[in-house]
Chains A and B, each alone.
Chain A
Amino acid sequence: MNLFVGNLGQAGIILAFVAAAVAAYGYFQAARGRALGEADASWLRLARGAFFVHGAAVLTVVVCLFNIIYLHRYEYYYAWAHSSNHLPVQYMISCFWEAQEGSFLLWIFWHVVLGLGIMKFNKQWEAPVLAVFATVQTFLVSMILGVVVAGVKIGSSPFILLRDFMVDLPVWKTNPDFVPKDGSGLNPLLQNYWMVIHPPTLFLGFALTLVPFAFAIAGLWKKELTTWVKPALPWTALGGAVLGVGIMMGAYWAYETLNFGGFWNWDPVENAVYIPWLVLIAALHGMVLWQRRRTGLRTAFALVVATFVLILYATFLTRSGVLGNASVHSFTDLGLSGQLIIYLVFFAVGAIALLAYRWKSIPISEKELTAYSPELWVFIGATVLCLAAFQVVATTSIPVYNAFLGFIGIKSNLALPADQIQHYTRIQLWAGVLIGIVSGIAQVLWWRPAKEPVINSLATPTMLALLTTALVVLLTRYFGHAMSVPYVILLLAGLFAIMTNVSAIFGLWRRGVQLSGGAVAHLGIALMLLGILASAGYSNTISRNVSGKLISREMSDTDNENNVLLWRNETGAMNGYDVTYAGQYLDVPGVPGYVNTTLLYRTDDEYKAVARGEVKAGDKTYYHTGDTLGILPENTYYRVDYNDKKTGQKFTLYPRAQVNEEMGGLLASPALQRFWDHDIYSHISSVPDPRKEIPWSPAIPHELSVGDTLFLNDYFAVFRAIEQAHEVPGIKLLPGDIALQADMIVTGEKGRQYHAHPVFLLRDHQVGHIPEIVEDLGLKLTLDQIDPVKGKFTFAISTTGKDYIILKATEKPFINLLWGGTLLMGFGLVLSMRQRKAARAVAAAQPAGRTGTAHQQVAVS
């Protein structure tokens, strides 16, 4: 038992809390009643010191929590509940943020980093901006405080001891210092490299939304109603990129790991981050409008505040337990709802009140917008983004309406829509169409050289988009797919956005101007729209039963028959493919690929096996017969061979399933085969339960002599010889042992042959049998008796049902457009952030007389 680490960590949390409160007060006093950049020096010094102490304390807490997980200190509930002895190091990092406390800590950590960044890059703004930061930090640290004040529990500490968490266990009475030998393990679905980088990215995105919010509040407070936009802009662009890429990383993880058959499921937890991202992007556009065209400042203010409030609302949704049954992966309810509501209400009411108070003083543009001004189109685009976000928030909040109505005594039984995909698509598809069209028009107008008529700038991209759309529709028809009107319109809008943005980039390049980050980001969004349209709209089920076998019961509902049964080693005909299930495999560390379980003799130690034959990968032999090797038993990989009937192309996929008592059964994860223009996505829907003992039929004895052939239903076995066994898997032979093995060849389907060596072992006048199991055929052969006088051998043969899998396979056309578009969008946003910084450096250099680089026009939008 090591109580020191926990105590140190707990002390760190309390210090971080107190220091954040001191820093908040200090910065508040430093900035109060003084103009921007003229903060009170002594208060500033105190506040800055407190913020440094806060940062150091947060770092200590992080180190302590990681130490507990890394060194398997199971006396702590956090380590016990989320980790285990066999967990690889990289996944210990994911344990860190698997639960609420760790993910709060991650978020707090990013705020510290960003706060230090603002101290360095935006010195003038330090006091008022960090006053907001430190206040937020005080609230966030209170969530992991874990202290009881006047009978009210505040926060949930990650350093709680197992014995304090599970007080009722009888073991504490006999042994208060009991420490479990192993942890209960990380949810296997989270044992994925995306879960190592997705949460930090997402929380960095969350944290970055605080920056524009803090600047906006500082601007309202210090009556710097226009100057805050410029320093906040690069941070906002970075936030848009990081949050957007973070969301898509989550989508990619879901695509690769979960088996709902896609990358987006409209789960409230997914929606909760999608909503603020949409509004953040709208806010970014408002800020750019002000910075470049001196209009839209009120929009920028309102949307920046809305983004942060929506982040808080998302936090409340996913962490308070209000979603209940509505989400499959919200966090555990830690009873923090009250605290989360106070947090949400404090900032929402405070910020909105301050904004309302200053609203009349926020300058507005007198410019009348016409259809030729790009500002109008940017406004429309931002509005569409907000309306799209509004739909998702209105529907995702249904459990909140129930909870609220229940709270005031009205019984409500509203549930999320039965068909969520249809519900959301109805609005989101048209939002996508409008975004495509509006962003295209706005880009062209924004970069249009003053003399060129609008019609000229738009004509070429429009013509090209129409032509390409016609071509794609014809090709889609040619390949036998229908295309509904909304899809055609979305296709046209996406292509229009691509053509206009490419033409904008090309036009700028011809004029010798830098690459526009905005145009690149918009191009990325357009590609994402097309990727979503193709992969979700034209996802094609391959695993339809086309073998001609009639299933009497429900021929009416053939549309739903998306899963097929495949017997081991039998080939099934599916939609365009011949598919064969070729056995179960395990991951053996050090051996590339997977190893067939028929080559592995399992031992008492779950993580060890003995090789029954040469373990090879390619030409290299990694283990010889009888070697002991380490295995990872959690995942079973089901080898499925595909043969494309049209092209003759062959490939092998290993969809996996893991036994997971915690999640209540078997968890299947898909396997993907990637082609440039489509993915083949397949997962196991069901297998015979591997946890159940195999039910063997009663053994039937067969008496054979060497050379005899034995007929077993569909197979036959030749008993070729009896020989001395030198190696017996799983047993160490001692001197004096007599071990005999039968050499048999069993011929199965398609003439496939299996060597079987059942062993008869004599040790100290005791007989032992080591049967041979031919998994592929469901056969167990035991060498039961030996009659040396007559030369007769008795074999006991049992059989079991053959192994099978239920498989679902789909084709996802052009999904790479979505991932590629995401990267392009992120790249474009980061580019525009850098350009903004460059623009600022140029502007800063000018007054000093160094105009060397100032003539270079910087393209930003």
Chain B
Amino acid sequence: MSGTEYNGAEIIINSLVDLGVEVIFGYPGGAVLPLYDALFDQDKIRHILVRHEQAAVHAAEGYARSTGKPGVVLVTSGPGATNAVTGLTDAMLDSIPVICLTGQVPVHLIGSDAFQEADTVGITRHCTKHNYLVKDVDTISQVIHEAFYVATSGRPGPVVVDVPKDVQIFTSTEFHKGAVKHRSYRPEVKGDIKAITEAVTLLVGAKKPIFYTGGGVINSGPAAAQLLCEIVQLTGAPITSTLMGLGAYPASDKQFLGMLGMHGTYEANHAMHDCDVMVCVGARFDDRVTGRLDAFSPKSKKIHIDIDRSSINKTVRVDVPIVGDVAHVLEDMLKLWKAAVLEQGKQSYDDWWAEIEQWRSRKCLNYSSSKDKIMPQYALERLQALTKDKDVYFTTEVGQHQMWAAQYLKLEDPNRFMTSGGLGTMGYGFPAAIGTQIAHPDALVIDVAGEASIQMNIQELGTAVQYGLPVKIFILNNEYMGMVRQWQEMNHGARYSQSYSESLPDFIKLAKAYGAHGIVVDKPADLDAAIKEMMATDGLVIVDCRVEKLANCYPMVPSGAAHNEMILPDEAELQEFEGGAALV
């Protein structure tokens, strides 16, 4: 398509507008000045100025995960791009659609070690789904459209578009319109009907089935979560979810067994171990889920639905692989299941549920409460109770508080829980909450944080205050890098090497310094009032919730153990594990 002449920067911005982009998270610099100039004169795209490029990517992730739309990032060359790498890797591991535009030195300077030059496509090749270096302004619109197509189709992921400064200045009349037909990348969304039929036959004949669901359900969209609920409720089978999949199925439903894996529930892990048919829906048998591989669910036939063929048989061998989009496959599965049940009748799972109820009665999430100290689990229970009727979104940082959040916040809807699953990036939660709040200005957005993680992107207080974002930072402050301390206690003779957070800031004064509100609470009796004050306060709030310092996160499958060999809170003596120091 030809028409009026624009420079590369204007073409990029216009292409983004065409693609429906409303927000960009970014930070300016020398190599992106033409792009920032093009942003200056328009009002279709809102630019959110972060304080560090890593936070820009996490904010875009939060935006993407809470809306289902791709997030867009704009950073400069060299340090701008390298700072974005952690965010990109995070988006890669959690399959989040992010488009990151990076500035680059002018084409004729590439390879000369110019000022703020880095080999961005080289560095990001391993941490993006795909990346581009655009050397010809005539192709730039096409590349932007292609980048969106690649980031959002199939298994989503981050895409980097590296644009040299001169390419942003050169002019062209070339604009891409309409859908992209990629030369080589066209992922299948429909599952093979033969495989689906085989899966349904297994499922209908099962006596002890279980659904094991992951982030793929959420990535597939609201229809997938809807279909999942339908098929789970029609079959009457139990369901468990990975960290990434929480919220896709309502946690309050009696068929939901809670999260599985290293800090999953006793009932979820035991049901996974003893099931006879496992239906894995958009999850990838991560090592935090499986525990020791050769002891993982030894008696079951496994059905695996995944849009990425390389996820299938990667670690766990499955019996019925189905490559396709979760929503498409579940729709077919549901139809076939209904037909098969009409013909053959439905199995009774009464015995299976009786077994599960026994595991459930073990009440693995019980903890010893305290009158004078706030237990972190109690803090999250109260947070859950007091926010459950609100339009609420949670993000988390990484560590003990993250696992407690996954255990005690009962998530009812998809796209409401943003957490760094695959990469485990400390500092994720606060910028992700910023991105979430930008997308949902009137919602209650809470970052469940630890006092260590929050400091990894604490500079974003400036961003949140600048845009009047009423994010609530709820810090479970135990003065330790809690998960590190827990592992040192278990595996290194309680030698707390470098895991105590000395010289912590006064979070109340810190909030004040940025023009925000701070609340400190250290008595269980004051907790409800503090949470209510947090919710009643307009604008950014930091709650410094002083919790029991040495609480451990249970239940736990020690790394390297089978997934039914769990440590429960009431059995957990301070024993050292043999060979524990080698565990990861």
State whether these chains interact: no
B interface list, Cβ under 8 A from A: none
